Each structure stands twice: as C-alpha cells, then as structure tokens.
Amino acid sequence: MDEIRSFGYICPRCGKAVMAARSAFALSAAAARIECECGKSELDVETDGVKFRLNVPCALCGGTHTAECSAEAVLHGRGIGLACPETKQICCYAGEPEQVRRALEELAVRSEKEKAAGEEAFTDNVIMYEILSELRDIAARDGISCTCGSRDYAMQVRRSAVDLTCKRCGGKLRLGAATDEDLDALCCQMTLTIKGVS
C-alpha cells in the first residue's frame, strides 16, 4: 500500500497554513512543489533517492531555509519538524497527514499571536505618540541636558517608556510613556535633566 505523506508550512506572505499531500511513491520518484493559494510562496521538495532537500518559506523570520533530511524520515514514521535557524522554532512539518495537520494548526495560532504582539509595539500607541512629540518640542528648545553639563544624549523608545541617556557620562532618565499621568507629567516640563553619573 502506498503511504500518503503531508507537508505543511505557514505562508510568510498571507499567513495561511499551507498543506499538501503526496504519495510516498510519487515523492521518491520526483520533486514536489507545494504552493500557497495566494501564489506568493512555495515549498520545494527535491530528492536524490537517499536524501530529501526542502526549501521552506519561513513565516517566523520571513526567510527561506534549506534543510536536508533522510528519505526514511520523510517517507516513513510519524514525521519531522524543521526548525528555523533564526528563531529556533519549527516552521515546517513533513510526515503523517494527521500529525502534520495538528502541528500546523498549532503553528498557525502561534504565529498569529506573535504577529499581534509585534503590532502592539507600545502599551498605548496614542500616549507614546504624544510623549514623543512632546519630547521633540522640548528638544527643539534645547531643553534636554545632563547634570554633568553635556547636552548630547541618545533616546531609546521602549514598550512603555522612553530612555534618555547622556552620551558623555552614561546617566539615564526614564520617562514613563504608558498612561495619561505619564503624559501630564511630561507636558508641564519646560526642560528635562538627566541625572549624571559621577
């Protein structure tokens, strides 16, 4: 009886789970190409009969990874997961259709969650925007300085705060950028002083 093997990945372009099945016989005889419905990504499977080479579009890092696996692992057994070298997480599955389908569903949920987390870069986007434009105003009137006398500073935007760091002494001033109170506290300041490190 001819075994059916599945391949699955998440399309980096449209985010959909892509899954396709081939018979083990067809796979060992010829290369396979599995395309996403959107037509913008494809998984290539090549074989020399001993090894399989998979070119996997990776939804986790956006790149394409090449992996070599034994024909035994691809054609028989429960299946294998290929890990993205960037994120160390599995981005592609090959094996038993049922295993691949289940693993792929989990992967789709996870990558959806990560995407959502990435979009929410700040605790409160509106507050962060206001804080940054307020900071720009203060900087424009040369209002940011350090107690060490330097007016040279670096600014780092974090999720719920903005850090000002003195470039001369390394002194730091953290400004909250998550709540209305944070915004009120900044709005009434004409100047900002970084506490220098001596």
Q: Which residues sit at the interface with Zn ion, rule CB under 5 A?
A: 11, 13-14, 36, 38, 58, 60-61, 84, 86, 146, 148, 150, 166, 168-169, 171, 196
- Distance CA(150)–CA(148), nearest Å, equals 6
* Amino acid symbol at 141: R
Least separation in angstroms between CB 174 and Zn ion? 15
Please choose, from the candidates 48, 45, 53, the residue with its C-alpha nearest in 3D space to the C-alpha of residue 8. 45
Q: Tell me whether residue 123 or residue 147 sits nearer to Zn ion (CB atom).
A: 147
Least separation in angstroms between CB 35 and Zn ion? 8
Encoding tokens for residue 125?
């986007």
Q: Tell me whether residue 76 or residue 172 sits nearer to Zn ion (CB atom).
A: 172
Q: Tell me whether residue 155 or residue 169 sits nearer to Zn ion (CB atom).
A: 169
Burial of 12 (0-12, 13-18, 19+ CB in 10 A): buried
Q: Tell me whether residue 36 or residue 75 sits nearer to Zn ion (CB atom).
A: 36
Q: Tell me whether residue 107 or residue 146 sits nearer to Zn ion (CB atom).
A: 146
Least separation in angstroms between CB 95 and Zn ion? 20
- Distance CA(87)–CA(85), nearest Å, equals 6
Least separation in angstroms between CB 88 and Zn ion? 9
Q: In this structure, are residues 36 and 19 in contact, taking their beta carbons and an 8 Å threshold?
A: no
Least separation in angstroms between CB 109 and Zn ion? 17
Q: In this structure, are residues 80 and 73 in contact, taking their beta carbons and an 8 Å threshold?
A: yes
